Amino acid sequence: MRDYNVAVVGATGAVGSETVRMLDMRNFPIRSIKLLASGRSAGKTMPFRGRDVVIEELKETSFEGVEIAFFGAGSGVSKQFAAHAVKAGALIIDKTSAFRMLADVPLVIPEINGTEIARHKGIVSSPNCVAVVLTMAIYPILKRYPIKRLVVSSYQATSGAGAKAARELLNQTKAFLAGEPLPREVFKHQIAFNLFSHDSPIYDNGYNDEENKVIEETRKILSLPELPIAVTCVRVPIVRAHSVSINYESDRPVDLDEVRALLGAANGVKVVDDRVNNHFPMPIECSEKDEVLVGRLRTDLSNPNGIELFASGDQLLKGAALNAVQIAEYAVGNGIIKG
Ligand SMILES: NC(=O)c1ccc[n+]([C@@H]2O[C@H](COP(=O)([O-])OP(=O)(O)OC[C@H]3O[C@@H](n4cnc5c(N)ncnc54)[C@H](OP(=O)(O)O)[C@@H]3O)[C@@H](O)[C@H]2O)c1
CA distance 28 to 82: 22
131-315 is classed CATH 3.40.250.10: no
Domain boundaries, the chain: 4-127+320-333, 131-315
Q: Are strands 56-57 and 4-9 parallel, antiparallel or unpaired?
A: unpaired
Give Cα 213 to chain centroid, integer Å: 12
Instruction: Give the nearest ligand 1 atom to 315 CA.
Output: 3
Q: Pocket residues for ligand 1 (CB within 6 Å)?
A: 10-16, 37-38, 40-41, 58, 72-75, 77, 95-96, 129, 159-160, 162-164, 315-316, 319-320
Phi/psi of residue 108, each to 5°? -125, 135
What's residue 339's pLDDT?
65
Residues with Cβ within 8 Å of residue 175, at least 6 apart in sequence: 181, 182, 183, 192
CA atoms within 13 A on the CB side of 285: 14
What's residue 319's pLDDT?
98
| Cβ atoms of residues 210 and 233 within 8 Å | yes
CA distance 315 to 47: 23
What's residue 338's pLDDT?
72
The answer to whether 242 is a known catalytic residue is yes
Residues with Cβ within 8 Å of residue 318, at least 6 apart in sequence: 132, 133, 136, 268, 290, 291, 292
Write down the pTM of the prediction. 0.98
CA distance 309 to 269: 13
What's residue 27's pLDDT?
98
Catalytic residue among 120, 198, 233, 242: 242
Return the CATH fold of 4-127+320-333. Rossmann fold (3.40.50)
Measured in Å, residue 37 CA sits from the centre of ligand 1 at: 9
Mutate to test the pocket of ligand 1, among 20, 92, 95, 134 (most ligand atoms within 8 A of CB): 95
The answer to whether 129 is a known catalytic residue is yes
Residues of the chain where predicted confidence (pLDDT) is lower than 70: 339
| Number of CB atoms found within 10 A of residue 231's CB | 23
| Number of CB atoms found within 10 A of residue 46's CB | 19
Please provide the distance, in angstroms rounded to a whole number, between the alpha carbons at the two ends of the chain.
7
CA distance 12 to 1: 29
